[in-house]
Amino acid sequence: MTEIRVLDESQYRDHHTLFRGTLHHAAAPDEVWEHARNSYEPGRSHAAFDGAEIVGTVQSFGSSLVLPGGAVVPHAAVSRVGVRADHTRRGVLSSMMRAQFDALDEPAATLRASEGVIYGRFGYGVATRGRTVRVDRRRAAVPGEATGRVRLVDRDTAGKLLPELHDSVGMKRPGAIGRWTGWWELNLFGNIKPDDNLVSAVHSGPDGDDGFVVYKVDHGDKERVLKVYDLCAASPAAWADLWRYLIGIDLVDEVEAWLRPLDEPLEWLFTDPRAVKVTEFEDETWLRLIDVPFMLAQRTYADGDPVVVGVTDRLIPVNTGSYLITPDGASRTDQAPDVELSVDLLGALYLGDTTFRQLVTANRATGSNPAAADRLFAVSEVPWCGTYF
């Protein structure tokens, strides 16, 4: 019999070690733990206990989420989900997920999934996706002249400047999430070996700093690949200048950027569209609407006739019901639904990555006129997060 408990500070390292073990990694050495410990926030780490032993973990970080229309709501970034191999497939994760939903104050949660079959049953749906691109540096040219300036910054400067810039520049597109202090420490600046040549560059335009890129050059046997980890820009001009800068760096064969927005118009930026090869499409954000009425009321809708959406939620039954969606907003209703779907699929639709028509075609939702719902849920920009955790 396992019991789910919220951990205190003295148990965080055991939590971390158990989770790493489920990914087949050894326990973190002290120098890595020094950075990882700062990502633990009070009251946000659950573990499953079998007697005195931890056999499962879940965790979340306090964050925010940008919605269609620009509203920003609190959001929980869920991570470090793992169950010890000798305790899997007996409901441990299911119990931890329930305990986590009960404990969370945020109306929505997102995660990155290790496998595609795990999280739908818990109400998470694929809400943003990304594409990995490789740019042949010698074939890529950006017409015109740079309009701003790109300057390299050292790691200490980047550690102060980039979080501020992400807050102002990176929180525009629906799907973007606020980065917590521990994210920066663990992902970009803390957990980096001294010989890792991670480079940060900041763009400034007429109104000051308005974009940045973080990258590293890998020296392979045959080719040198510049890998872009992070690229944010406030304007098309800053975005074009940052790419112009990247393809201008000497002793590089290819520029690879992982999980970029599906609508990033690189093929239109370079004179030769074939300089860009898409090497992968991947799901990025898995979104769980925890408070469905609140979340439906927070995003905006396009013009169109009113539609009633019927939602079923097995784990959080209070969400189950019908919602009237109009160009002015969303509210509960007793009317019969025009389209019906489960909460994981509402998560997939919510930011605009997929459509009712696609889900009805794939037999995942029902309704005779999905196009009417799609008109209301239509967005002008493909949602994308850009923050891996």
Ligand X SMILES: CC(=O)SCCNC(=O)CCNC(=O)[C@H](O)C(C)(C)COP(=O)(O)OP(=O)(O)OC[C@H]1O[C@@H](n2cnc3c(N)ncnc32)[C@H](O)[C@@H]1OP(=O)(O)O
- Binding segment for ligand X (CB under 6 A), chosen from 27-35, 75-83, 185-193, 362-370, is 75-83
Closest C-alpha to 329, from 297, 288, 291, 363? 297
235 is in an annotated binding site: no
To the question of whether residue 134 is assigned a binding role by annotation, the answer is no
Query: At its nearest, how many Å lie between ligand X and the CB of residue 289?
Result: 17
> 4 or 169, CB closer to ligand X?
4
Q: Toward ligand X, which CB reaches closer, 23 or 52? A: 23
Using CB under 6 A as the binding rule, whether residue 46 contacts ligand X is answered as no
Tell me the closest approach of the beta carbon of residue 124 to ligand X, in angstroms.
9
What residue type is assigned to position 62 of the chain? G
Does 54 participate in binding ligand X (rule CB under 6 A)?
Answer: no
The encoded tokens of residue 19 equal 């989770």
Among 67, 81, 289, 348, binds ligand X (CB under 6 A): 81
- Please report which helix (H) or strand (E) contains residue 30, including its range: helix 30-36
Query: Binding ligand X by CB under 6 A: which of 93, 176, 246, 287?
Result: 93
Flag whether 380 is marked binding.
Answer: no
User: Is residue 94 near ligand X by the rule CB under 6 A?
Assistant: yes
- Residues ≥6 apart with Cβ < 8 Å to 275: 135, 136, 139, 140
Give the CA-trace dihedral at 183, 186, 189, 195, to 10 degrees.
-160
* Nearest residue to 114 (alpha-carbon basis) of 247, 3, 234, 23: 23
Tokens of 69: 């229309």
Interface residue with ligand X, options 11, 17, 38, 88 (CB under 6 A):
88
Give the x/- contact pattern for ligand X in 19-38, rule: CB under 6 A: ---xx---------------
Beta carbons of 286 and 121 less than 8 angstroms apart: no
Query: Rule CB under 6 A: is residue 100 a binding residue for ligand X?
Result: no
Q: Which of 18, 54, 66, 83 binds ligand X (CB under 6 A)?
A: 83
208 CB-contact burial (10 Å; exposed 0-12 / middle 13-18 / buried 19+): exposed
Cβ atoms within 10 Å, residue 26 = 8
Q: Is 120 in the site for ligand X (CB under 6 A)?
A: no
DSSP β-ladder status, 208-219 and 224-233: antiparallel
- Rule CB under 6 A: is residue 179 a binding residue for ligand X? no
- Round to the nearest angstrom and report the end-to-end CA distance of the chain: 31
62 or 159: whose CB is closer to ligand X? 62
53 is in an annotated binding site: no
CA 205 to chain centre: 27
- Segment lying near ligand X (by CB under 6 A), choices 7-15, 90-98, 182-190, 362-370: 90-98
Active site residues: 119, 389
207 is an interface residue for ligand X by CB under 6 A = no
Report the nearest approach of ligand X to the CB of residue 78 (Å).
6
Give the range of 38-46, 78-86, 304-312, 329-337 binding ligand X by CB under 6 A: 78-86
φ/ψ bin of 367: left (φ > 0), alpha (ψ from -120 to 50), beta (otherwise):
left
Q: Is 81 annotated as ligand-binding?
A: yes
Q: 194 forms bridges with which residues in the sheet? A: none
Q: Which of 90, 138, 277, 314 binds ligand X (CB under 6 A)?
A: 90
CA 232/CA 140 separation, integer angstroms = 20
Q: Min. distance of Cβ 286 from ligand X in angstroms?
A: 8
Rounded Cα gap, residues 304 and 376, in angstroms: 6
Binding site for ligand X (CB under 6 A): 22-23, 78-83, 88-94, 111-115, 117-118, 121
Mark the binding-site residues, compressed into ranges: 81-83, 89-94, 114-115
- From the annotation, which residues make up the binding site for acetyl-CoA? 81-83, 89-94, 114-115
